[in-house]
Amino acid sequence: MSVFVNKASFMRHILFRSLHQAHGSLRIIDNQRTNNNPADVRQMINWGVVRMGKERRHCFTAKGTNMPKEKDCLNNAVKNCCACREGEDNSARSNTDIGLRGNIGIKIFGIILSALVVFFNYSPRMRAVRALPKAVFINSVSTLNDAEKGGAQCLDYLKSTLSIFESESTAHGQEGALNVTESGDETLGAKRISVRLFNLFELANVPIYNQERAMLYPGGRAVGISINLRGLLIVGSGSFRNRDGRECCPAKRAGFRAGDVILSINGTAVSTSEEMQLALNANPDSAQIVFERNSRRQTLTVKPEMGTDGKAKIGAWVRDSTVGIGTLSFVTEKEKASAALGHAVLDADTGSLLNVRKGEMVEADVLGVTKGSSGFPGELRGAFGAKSLRIGSIDVNTELGIFGIADSADYTCEAGETLPIAFPNEVHKGEAYIITQIDGEKPQPYSCKIIKNAAQSVPSQKGLVIEITDERLLNKTGGIVQGMSGSPIVQDGRIAAVVTHVFVNEPNRGYGVYAFWMYSVACGEN
């Protein structure tokens, strides 16, 4: 205990000293401590203004002004300004002036306050509040158990499930230390449970999702992805020679940047490089270009230059489409909405999220796999062509994947078989399996473990961490490789999540996104 008190006294001394220094507070220069040493006096003056005994007179301003000479400091500051005049004794007054009076009372108050905070924070009710989920999901149409039925009140559901409250009065929001209220209507995500301290400070706000549990066709099949962009993505700029032989780059001179998306030129919408060239040739003297930058529309006027080939140019490298390989995640039973990847399709050069004008998913052939290792992510090698069987459209590209409408469900891992979707609060640490396609095989299940899961009330890519445990998959791929993004994760007979990213230094581990968030985007609910 003595060590604690000494530490506390030392810390308070440091705190008071810091406050005096920071605010230019008055500081006593004790004659007994300085011993008329000019260097000590100079240091004291640098701390702040100098204080006299009974009267207060600023001999020198705070740190930052010109320092007096040592002689003047000694003669004037010490003798005239520092309460060190003959017959005055400052030693008895110095401790009280730096704020040490009443330390015992402050210590007692601090100990009592700390004990109350610790007691309250670790009380059973506060532990229960901290254990509240970020969101609660109630299946409105279910025969699994009574707690999931739509007729159950959300407050009663929380109360019975989490055992937060001891009495009916507190549970129903009457005055007390912890007040609980239920607000909103029955619409998706609108009903909330709020827990407040003394009805003033909100400790928790839990949204309630009350909806039917969806049924999904699980994916796992490798797919080819072809996307045509909305507008033209500028991936860079480059100089070229005009008809006069001069190097020029009108786009750079006008202020265009990599990542800008050209939407129209002189009022004509452009979505291909050919359309852009036609628009520039139509009016080579001036081009008014409407573009997007950071989701904001802007306009710049550019004067094209005629190249040696007789075509009007602005010196911008543009991209109008992209292709790649990924994995189908699932197809909804009712809407036939498709979801894949679990992450956004980004431009390889700029890192920009690609805006989809139109696109499609097609069947892809897996030709082989490059095994991953620590520091080197592997990849699936696949191919598809113009005659590949179309799976469905790609209408949206988001942070949670690509979405569209499937033509049918015949290409899913097990045609005709559906699995229920898991709500985020139902996903837990433990055994699971992923469904993915390797080496030209049909999609197969491979065992894994969910080793970490996050409580989430809003969508996020990194909802959980999985570890591949299946020796077959580890021997073939080393774990998770590029191209496997989108592989569904199944736990307790439900589609729980989708693989999104691999740990570069641990290829047997990776991130997953909750399938529920992808389903909400696929069905237009988020």
Active-site annotation holds for 457 = no
Q: What angle do CA 45, 48, 50 make, to 5 degrees?
A: 65
The pLDDT tens digits for 227-284 are 999 999 999 999 999 988 899 999 999 999 999 999 999 999 999 999 999 999 999 9
C-beta of residue 164 within 8 angstroms of C-beta of residue 172: no
Task: Evaluate if residue 520 carries a pLDDT over 70.
Answer: yes
Q: Which residue has the tokens 């390797």?
A: 438
What is the 3-state composition of the chain as percent helix, strand, coil, each rounded to the nearest 5? 25, 35, 40
At 178, is the pLDDT very low, low, confident or very high (cuts 50, 70, 90)?
A: low
Mean pLDDT along residues 417-433:
92
With tokens 């999220």, the residue in question is: 353
Catalytic: which of 97, 349, 407, 470?
470
87 Cβ partners below 8 Å, 6+ apart?
A: none
Provide the pLDDT confidence category of residue 458 given band limits of 50, 70 and 90.
confident
Q: What pLDDT shows up at residue 201?
A: 74
Residue 523 reports pLDDT greater than 70: yes
Confirm if 451 and 467 have CB atoms less than 8 A apart. Answer: yes
For residue 61, pLDDT beyond 70: no
Among the options 25, 30, 271, 343, which is catalytic?
343
Each residue of 303-341: pLDDT tens digit?
999 999 889 999 999 999 999 999 999 999 988 999 999
Q: Which pLDDT does position 306 carry in this prediction?
A: 93
The mean predicted confidence, pLDDT, of the chain is 76
* Residue where the block lists tokens 């301290």: 197
Query: What does the domain layout of the chain look like in residue ranges?
Result: 2-104, 124-213, 239-314, 337-342+354-522
What is the helix (H) or strand (E) element at residue 296, kind and residue range?
strand 296-302
Active-site residue identified among 485, 487, 501, 520 = 485
In the structure encoding, which two tokens stand for residue 281, read together? 């040739």
Instruction: Please name the fold of domain 337-342+354-522.
Output: Thrombin, subunit H (2.40.10)
The answer to whether the CB of 159 falls within 8 A of the CB of 229 is no
Q: Is the pTM of this model over 0.75?
A: no
343 is catalytic: yes
CATH number for the 239-314 domain, one of 2.40.160.20, 1.10.10.10, 3.40.50.620, 2.30.42.60? 2.30.42.60
Q: If you count them, how many residues does the chain have? A: 526
CA atoms within 13 A on the CB side of 329: 33
Output the pLDDT for position 455.
82
pLDDT at residue 296, rounded to an integer: 93
Q: Is the confidence at residue 51, as pLDDT, over 50?
A: no
User: In which element (H, E) is residue 359 found?
Assistant: strand 356-363
**146 included as an active-site residue:** no
Q: Residue 129's CB: how many other CB atoms inside 10 A? A: 17
The DSSP code sequence of 288-332 is EEEEEETTEEEEEEE--EEBTTS-EE--EEEEEEEEEEEEEEEEE
